[in-house]
């Protein structure tokens, strides 16, 4: 995944820790509000993901509760930065511990044309095979590029999806490779891709992400809100690195 110019407005810690997710989800976030009414319940708990790409390894924690989602980096580089999305209020918040502040992203309009083009560019096959990742069974699907550029193997586990995830499918953002358009019906039924392996046309692995731990548990509401004492900043202040107070 690559960031865009929007990521350059995020202070250094937030950019390093959560900028990738922030940009990806900001672009397609408007879909969440449009879809959350169709859901009841959904997975509550955490999923730890390991991402290997370009020789670099990163780990993220996804926390789900109803129509809310928190994303944050874990491991040695983690410093408390996080992105929080709430499908009920149509608000997304970036948490920046360096500035002891948070700032909201507006909800942009969705793009259906790009999503349709993305769907037409691939051929998806249900292999009928299953695998086990992080203790969960998952179904294997192959997504092949019609232009012959390569393929990605997705492994979808049931009963791990939610309204926020369904809203993120089919975007024209970087996260489209993680939640492509064709996956929407399965995610709406509660599926979640707990592993994805991307290969080039010669079959060489380019990148992969996979869940390393999946834990169903009750989560505190405070996890999906700014920490006590954090001040609210606007985009202009964030662009100046928090200079205005």
| 71, pLDDT greater than 80 | yes
Greatest C-alpha distance within the chain:
57
Sign of CA dihedral 104, 106, 112, 115: negative
The domain locations on the chain are 5-110+217-235, 114-214
| 232, pLDDT greater than 80 | yes
Judge: domain 114-214, CATH 2.50.20.10. Answer: yes
Confidence at 188, pLDDT banded by 50, 70, 90: confident
pLDDT tens digits for 134-176? Answer: 999 999 999 998 888 899 999 999 888 666 666 555 444 334 4
Confidence at 16, pLDDT banded by 50, 70, 90: very low
What pLDDT is stored for residue 200 in this prediction?
Answer: 93
101-114 mean pLDDT:
68
Task: Record the pTM.
Answer: 0.76
Is 230 exposed, middle or buried, given 0-12, 13-18 or 19+ CB atoms closer than 10 A? Answer: middle
| 116, pLDDT greater than 80 | no
Find out whether 206 and 200 touch, Cβ atoms under 8 Å.
Answer: yes
Q: Regarding predicted confidence, which is higher, 143 or 37?
A: 143
| Six-digit token string for 72 | 């944050």
């Amino acid at each position: 995944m690559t960031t865009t110019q929007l990521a350059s407005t995020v202070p250094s810690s937030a950019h390093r820790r959560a900028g990738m997710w922030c940009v990806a989800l900001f672009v397609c976030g408007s879909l969440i509000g449009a879809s959350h009414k169709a859901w009841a319940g959904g997975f509550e708990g955490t999923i730890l993901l390991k991402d290997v790409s370009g020789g670099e390894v990163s780990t993220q924690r996804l926390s789900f509760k109803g129509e809310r989602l928190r994303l944050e980096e874990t491991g040695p580089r983690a410093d408390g930065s996080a992105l929080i999305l709430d499908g009920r209020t149509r608000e997304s918040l970036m948490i920046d511990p360096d500035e002891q502040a948070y700032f909201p992203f507006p909800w942009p309009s969705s793009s259906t044309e790009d999503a349709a083009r993305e769907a037409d560019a691939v051929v998806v096959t249900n292999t009928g095979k299953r695998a086990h990742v992080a203790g969960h069974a998952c179904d294997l699907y192959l997504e092949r590029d019609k232009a012959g550029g390569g393929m990605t193997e997705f492994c979808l586990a049931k009963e791990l999806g939610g309204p926020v995830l369904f809203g993120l499918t089919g975007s024209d953002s970087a996260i489209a490779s993680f939640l492509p358009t064709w996956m929407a019906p399965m995610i709406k039924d509660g599926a979640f891709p707990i592993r994805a392996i991307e290969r080039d046309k010669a079959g060489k692995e380019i990148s992969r992400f996979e869940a390393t731990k999946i834990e169903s548990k009750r989560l505190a509401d405070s996890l999906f809100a700014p920490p006590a004492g954090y001040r609210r900043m606007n985009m202009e202040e964030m662009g100046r690195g928090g200079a205005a107070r």
